[in-house]
Amino acid sequence: MSSINQVRFNQEEKFISSPLNYIGGKYKLLSQLLPLFPKDISVALDLFCGGANVGINIQAQSIILNDSLTELMQFYQALQNENLQTIFNAIWNIVDTFNLSNTAKYGYGFYKCDSAKGLSSYNKKHFLVLRNHYNQTKKPFDLFVLIIFAFNNQIRFNSKREFNLPCGKRDFNKNMQEKLRQFILNLQNKNIKISNKDFREFPLDILDSKSFVYIDPPYFLATAPYNENNAWGLQDELDLLEFLKLLDSKKIRFAFSNVIFHKNKEHHILKDWLQKNPRFKVYFLDFHYKNCNYQTRRADSKELLVTNY
């Protein structure tokens, strides 16, 4: 197995950051991940795109953002299809309609709140009205406003496909506005297609040896908001490992993110699979950008990247 320590892009390199705070998002790992990707990509497929931090930053002739979460992909489609100003007007209209806070305009004092304690005490009742409205109507920009005002700007649905996060401390502040603006501009100006398929159903015939698939599934060892209600189980993990072998048999290049250790647990299935497929390369990444030793700190999460090239 190979290892990687502190691979970096030039300090001036600026990555596009997703306006969505996905648990397990790879924004902080981009400076280690992207140098390991092929340099001659025709079609890049981000198979479990989530917040799309990786997909939107890949250098390729065309990019496909795919995820099985329909509500998420409908939101990306709306961002891609609407005028930038129209999108911002829609967001501010929802904020105003549901009487949510606007500290960018009025400041914290207007709402009898401060930046340390946050805005939950003011926004909670208004947030719940919007949440109930969204769960009935499923409009994409209502979803985004919910995410803005939700706990840690995260996204989570229950088994009934209802958004169920509680109200958070933030609102549509200037930092979030700029993240969204840059994300929209790149989504619209790059050659990006939106796809909403389970990985088992993705049409591989549109890919070839010049293509590249980045695979960042829900982590089998982790319990995260996106993986509640048994959204990712043992059979999914086994199917995905077979899917990687299928990609390889078709000479389609892939890079697969996962963890081999997490909170005192070892991913025995993945470890055994890697031992049975020794030709795949394994790189250990350091989430905290410190020197990472595979043999130490076994209780911590150990991010790895598996490639077939």
20: its two tokens? 């969505």
Angstrom distance (rounded) from CA 166 to CA 228:
15
pLDDT at 300: 58
* 162 Cβ contact list (under 8 Å, min separation 6): 135
Residue ranges of the chain assigned to CATH 1.10.1020.10: 88-179
Angstrom distance (rounded) from CA 88 to CA 94:
10
Residues 238/232, Cβ–Cβ less than 8 Å: no
pLDDT at 5: 37
119: its two tokens? 């805005």
Q: With a cut of 70, which residues of the chain have pLDDT below it? A: 1-13, 221-230, 287-301
Residues 139/91, Cβ–Cβ less than 8 Å: no
pTM: 0.89
Angstrom distance (rounded) from CA 256 to CA 244:
8
The side-by-side arrangement of strands in the sheet containing 281-285 is 192-195, 62-66, 43-46, 212-215, 253-259, 303-307, 281-285
CATH code of domain 88-179: 1.10.1020.10
Element (H, E) at 197: none
CB atoms within 10 A of CB 186: 15
Q: Which of 81, 78, 79 is nearest to 16 (CA)?
A: 79
Q: Which of 217, 156, 174 is nearest to 20 (CA)?
A: 156
Q: Which of 65, 18, 58 is nearest to 197 (CA)?
A: 65
CATH code of domain 27-68+197-307: 3.40.50.150
- Looking at this protein, which amino acid is placed at residue 179? K
Residue ranges of the chain assigned to CATH 3.40.50.150: 27-68+197-307
pLDDT at 292: 38
